[in-house]
Amino acid sequence: MKILCFGDSNTYGYDPRSFLDDRYPADVRWTDALARDTGWTVLNMGQNGREIPCQPAEVTRITELLSREAPDILVVMLGSNDLLCHPDFGAEQTAERMEAFLRALPSVRILLVSPPPMQRGAWVCEERLLTESARLAAQYATLARKLGMFFADAGQWSVELTYDGVHFSEAGHRAFAAGLFRTLTL
């Protein structure tokens, strides 16, 4: 099976202990762990700071990538940066942006993953972020039903976050890989 994982820094494998946007080692990152443990081809298309694409050029790039790579399934986990970077965004606005993005993609099997809710930490001190990130799963679940695609709530996978309240710890990467594996093999 070939899986293309399109996400933000938690897909990229960002190590928040670093100062230079370093990544966790390959043996820690959930994408690499999933590939190692299953033998699947897992393409990591994570990017630090990525928000849900909303510009035509961004959508064109992912469409070309899908055409070139032809994955069996596209795993999309985005939304945290949208909430972090747009003080006027709530779960509804983030889901609306996600819907526009997903509708613009070519026909492909998609697993929409809601990121684990943020926790209080160095990056998360607003109550709005805690509330809206916790509400995102319900919005994404509704969206997935509406669009006829698969959905998973990573908030149900006991993904440990680091001191910043946003990024996965090493244990969080292991828990995420395990949760995604269970979801993909149901």
Domain that holds residue 133: 2-184
Q: What is the pLDDT of residue 21?
A: 73
Kind and range of the H or E element at 83? helix 80-85
- Total tally of structural domains belonging to the chain: 1
Q: Report the pLDDT averaged over residues 129-136.
A: 97
pLDDT for 184 beyond 90:
yes
Q: Where are the beta strands (DSSP E) in the chain?
A: 2-7, 41-46, 73-77, 110-114, 150-153
Cβ partners under 8 Å of residue 64, min gap 6: none
Q: Does residue 110 register a pLDDT over 80? A: yes
Return d(Cα 168, Cα 20) in angstroms, integer: 17
Average pLDDT over residues 7-35: 93
CATH number for the domain that contains residue 138: 3.40.50.1110
Mean pLDDT on 40-68: 96
Whether pLDDT at 160 is above 80: yes
- The pLDDT value recorded for residue 100 is 97
Segment 72-78 shows an average pLDDT of: 98
